[in-house]
Amino acid sequence: MCGIVGMVNGRSVAQDLIHGLRNLEYRGYDSAGIAIAGRSALSRLRASGPLDSLAAAHKVDPIDGPSGIGHTRWATHGAPTEQNAHPHFADGVAVVHNGIIENHAALRARLREDGVAFNSDTDSEVVPHLIASYRKAGLSRFDAIREATQMLEGQFALGILFEDEPRTLYAARRESPLAIGAAPKAVMLASDMLAYAGRAEQTLALESDEIARIRRDGVQILNGRGETVDRAWTAATSTAVTVHKAGHRHFMHKEIFEQPEAIAKTFAATAAEEVAAPVESVLADCNRLSIVACGTSYYAGMAARPWLERYAGMAVDLDVASEFRYRDRPCFAGTGSLYISQSGETADSLACMRDAKEKGEKTAAIVNVPTSAMANEADVTIPTLAGPEIGVASTKAFTAQLAALMGLARSIGKARAAFDPEMETRFETAYRMIPALIEDVLDREGSCETVARAIKNSKSAIFLGRGANHALAMEGALKLKEISYIHAEGFAAGELKHGPIALIDEAMPVIVVAPRDGSFAKTASNVEEVAARHGKIILLSDEEGCDHLAKHCWHQVVLPETDDLTAPFVYAVALQFIAYHTALALGTDVDRPRNLAKSVTVE
Ligand code: AGP
């Protein structure tokens, strides 16, 4: 999943391309490049590594012109080198690509037979060669692009320049996200219009298998049959402020501090009639619900499952999308599926949702990006109002997902008459308390930092929890892995003695997520099992819990008292801080951890 941009402004676009790529760097930062359609020829600049390398190269060797395309890469095919960086060229055609061309090997072999020489190991390079071959055969630019894209299997979003038409951009897509934006003196293209937040005043969605010709004086869209499509512009949503660190050292740290507001907004949104009513009409009759997601979003579903079972009276299955996708799962009446995704573009989750819809199953999606494919295609969408999340390690989206899931349990519980007045009071109280409890945890950053300094030189770490705390333990381990590169594993605390306890010795930090809930006593026994093997116990609990287990602990993070509704929010923030400060102490790139990208739009 890469980020692509393009712009036509009739004068100089280079700095605008680099600006757009900087806002899309969360999509991949293995290499970057721009191409410019000048007065007579195409020019190109590429660099391996994060965008700063390209920006530095551009200072030394500035290229510019009236229109251009740009790319920031997450390598799928071919190593993250300058040679494999986009844009790729072929006989006066320049292309940037996001997605995967699944039949690239066959196309490459065919083109080779026609005498084409390849300069990279990427799947993407077949695209400019195909377009150029159709141009040579005399087809118009539109027709050449259409013929070429009809040869492609897989997903793609493309930005295309032609040497012999310098003041024009072309775009094409199938599944991978791509939007067109307009500002007074420029028209732009981007995988996500966040690239031009605060600049694009209007946006235009490009549907799958459509091709657009973009000029300053207008945009023409053709569908797969070559027919012109009329489509209305809509007002752009994101503003410039969305992509600033607001004085924080990292987007992740800023986003951790944005959680009280994100949660409060999401509670309000899910309680509003325009969300609650469609949720009830789509899901209330479902006795069985499959929750499907990836990574952190999956752990949000895992933490919230007890709520849907207890307060909505639903049977809930939980699956990672990449596995769920290939199961021959029978769909019966009365079953529904819920997809959770920050980006709304995660390929595996999206494919599962499309598959379920095809099988006639009711689908709901909890999504943070309102313009995303999942938000557009689900039968009902529950928005998380966390705002754009730039840090690759998800934080505010996770707790906002918990807030949406809590709202869901309440709406469905009410519709299924499974929700009694005592529950209503508890939920109302929790809605009011959670943002304040998070503020309280934000003030305890220091004690999490102490833990981080203590574990930073560890080779690995174990996280333990029971019930919803098991999900938090898994999420805590994922956060630490993602940004500190320390090998970390989360386990159901009850599973420890069935194997993982063999890992425990005096060098192993064991982070125990233990609010004083119904499972605290059992978790306390697990703490004693670890202590008996000299494991280095780091306890996350409230005052009384910490006092109770103090003699076994290496370190403690004392957190406010909680209950089953508030605990996941409170403990999530402490786990985020531990991961953040460990990464900070180790000097890793917190916002752009190696090998990762924010939205995984390829399988
Ligand atoms: C979380 O920090 C990671 N960025 C990753 O696990 C992420 O949660 C996963 O890729 C799912 O993304 P989504 O929520 O956008 O679908």
* Number of helices (H), then strands (E), in the chain: 19, 25
Name 136's Cβ contacts closer than 8 Å, sequence gap at least 6: 91
pTM of the model: 0.92
Starting at the edge strand found earlier in the chain, the sheet holding 210-215 runs 88-90, 93-101, 154-162, 169-174, 210-215, 218-222, 228-229
Distance CA 478, CA 294 (A): 12
CA-closest candidate to residue 219, choices 237, 236, 231, 234: 231
166's enclosing H/E stretch is none
Confidence of residue 329 (pLDDT cuts 50, 70, 90): confident
Cis geometry, peptide bond prior to residue 87 (ω within 30 degrees of 0): yes
Positive/negative CA dihedral, 335, 384, 468, 328:
positive
Shortest-distance Cα residue to atom 6 of ligand 1: 295
CA-closest candidate to residue 378, choices 370, 387, 386: 370
Strand ranges (DSSP E) for 321-415?
335-341, 362-367, 380-383
Mean pLDDT, to the nearest integer, of 485-512?
98
Distance CA 473, CA 495 (A): 13
- At residue 237, does pLDDT exceed 70? no
Distance CA 482, CA 590 (A): 9
Ligand 1, residues 1, 27, 296: which to mutate, most atoms within 8 A of Cβ?
296
Name 541's bridge partners: 558
Ligand 1, residues 342, 474, 482, 590: which to mutate, most atoms within 8 A of Cβ?
342
Shortest-distance Cα residue to atom 10 of ligand 1: 295
Q: Which atom of ligand 1 lies closest to the CA of 479?
A: 2
Other beta carbons less than 10 A from residue 223's beta carbon: 14
Name 385's bridge partners: none
- For residue 148, report the distance from its CA to the centre of ligand 1, in Å: 32
- For residue 369, report the distance from its CA to the centre of ligand 1, in Å: 13
Residue 497: per-residue pLDDT:
96
- For residue 325, report the distance from its CA to the centre of ligand 1, in Å: 17
Residue 239: per-residue pLDDT:
58
Q: Which atom of ligand 1 lies closest to the CA of 395?
A: 2
Pocket of ligand 1 (CB under 6 A): 294-297, 341-343, 346, 349, 392-394, 482, 599-600
- For residue 394, report the distance from its CA to the centre of ligand 1, in Å: 7
pLDDT cut 70: percent of the chain above it: 99
CA-closest candidate to residue 356, choices 378, 376, 371: 378
- For residue 294, report the distance from its CA to the centre of ligand 1, in Å: 6
Residue 238: per-residue pLDDT:
62
DSSP symbol at 393? S
Q: Which atom of ligand 1 lies closest to the CA of 598?
A: 4
Starting at the edge strand found earlier in the chain, the sheet holding 335-341 runs 315-320, 288-293, 335-341, 362-367, 380-383
Q: Which atom of ligand 1 lies closest to the CA of 296?
A: 8
Going by their DSSP bridges, the two strands 202-205 and 210-215 should be labelled as: unpaired
pLDDT in tens, 171-217: 999 989 899 999 988 999 999 988 988 898 999 989 999 999 999 99
| Integer CA distances (angstroms), 406 to 49, 426, 518, 574, 589, in order | 41, 12, 19, 20, 33
Residue 603: per-residue pLDDT:
78
Ligand 1, residues 294, 392, 594, 595: which to mutate, most atoms within 8 A of Cβ?
294
- 179 phi, psi to nearest 5 deg: -130, 155
Name 158's bridge partners: 97, 172
Confidence of residue 236 (pLDDT cuts 50, 70, 90): confident
Q: Which residue has the tokens 């786990």?
A: 575
Confidence of residue 318 (pLDDT cuts 50, 70, 90): very high
Going by their DSSP bridges, the two strands 88-90 and 93-101 should be labelled as: antiparallel
Local structure of 455: helix, strand or coil: helix
Query: Is there a contact between 321 and 346 (Cβ–Cβ < 8 Å)?
Result: yes
Name 281's Cβ contacts closer than 8 Å, sequence gap at least 6: 380
Other beta carbons less than 10 A from residue 135's beta carbon: 22
Mean pLDDT, to the nearest integer, of 271-282?
93
**Annotated active-site positions, please?**
2, 598
Local structure of 499: helix, strand or coil: coil
Q: Which atom of ligand 1 lies closest to the CA of 293?
A: 16
- Between 195-199, 366-370, 569-573, the lowest mean confidence (pLDDT) is in 195-199
Query: Is there a contact between 165 and 141 (Cβ–Cβ < 8 Å)?
Result: yes
DSSP symbol at 84? T
Mean pLDDT, to the nearest integer, of 28-42?
91
Average pLDDT score, the chain: 95
Mean pLDDT, to the nearest integer, of 156-171?
96
| Integer CA distances (angstroms), 347 to 56, 175, 297, 397, 482, in order | 33, 9, 14, 18, 20
pLDDT in tens, 512-541: 999 999 999 999 999 999 999 999 999 999
Q: Which atom of ligand 1 lies closest to the CA of 392?
A: 4
- For residue 341, report the distance from its CA to the centre of ligand 1, in Å: 7
- At residue 242, does pLDDT exceed 60? no
Tokens of 281: 């009409």
Starting at the edge strand found earlier in the chain, the sheet holding 509-513 runs 487-492, 460-465, 509-513, 536-542, 553-559
Query: Is there a contact between 173 and 187 (Cβ–Cβ < 8 Å)?
Result: no
Query: Is there a contact between 549 and 543 (Cβ–Cβ < 8 Å)?
Result: no
- For residue 395, report the distance from its CA to the centre of ligand 1, in Å: 10
Residue 590: per-residue pLDDT:
97
Q: Which atom of ligand 1 lies closest to the CA of 393?
A: 2
Name 245's Cβ contacts closer than 8 Å, sequence gap at least 6: 251, 254
- For residue 3, report the distance from its CA to the centre of ligand 1, in Å: 16
- For residue 365, report the distance from its CA to the centre of ligand 1, in Å: 15
Strand ranges (DSSP E) for 216-279?
218-222, 228-229, 234-235
Distance CA 394, CA 386 (A): 11
Residue 225: per-residue pLDDT:
86
Going by their DSSP bridges, the two strands 169-174 and 460-465 should be labelled as: unpaired
- For residue 296, report the distance from its CA to the centre of ligand 1, in Å: 5
Shortest-distance Cα residue to atom 7 of ligand 1: 295
Confidence of residue 601 (pLDDT cuts 50, 70, 90): confident
Distance CA 51, CA 31 (A): 7
Local structure of 24: helix, strand or coil: coil
Residue 40: per-residue pLDDT:
78
- At residue 324, does pLDDT exceed 80? yes
- 582 phi, psi to nearest 5 deg: -70, -45
pLDDT cut 90: percent of the chain above it: 89
- Between 231-235, 289-293, 477-481, the lowest mean confidence (pLDDT) is in 231-235
Q: Which atom of ligand 1 lies closest to the CA of 343?
A: 15
477's enclosing H/E stretch is helix 468-484
Shortest-distance Cα residue to atom 16 of ligand 1: 341
Tokens of 410: 């309440």
Interaxial angle between packed helices 141-150 and 126-136, expressed in degrees from 0 to 180 and rounded to the nearest 10: 130
Q: How big is the CA angle at 381 (ends 392 and 297), to the nearest 5 degrees? A: 30
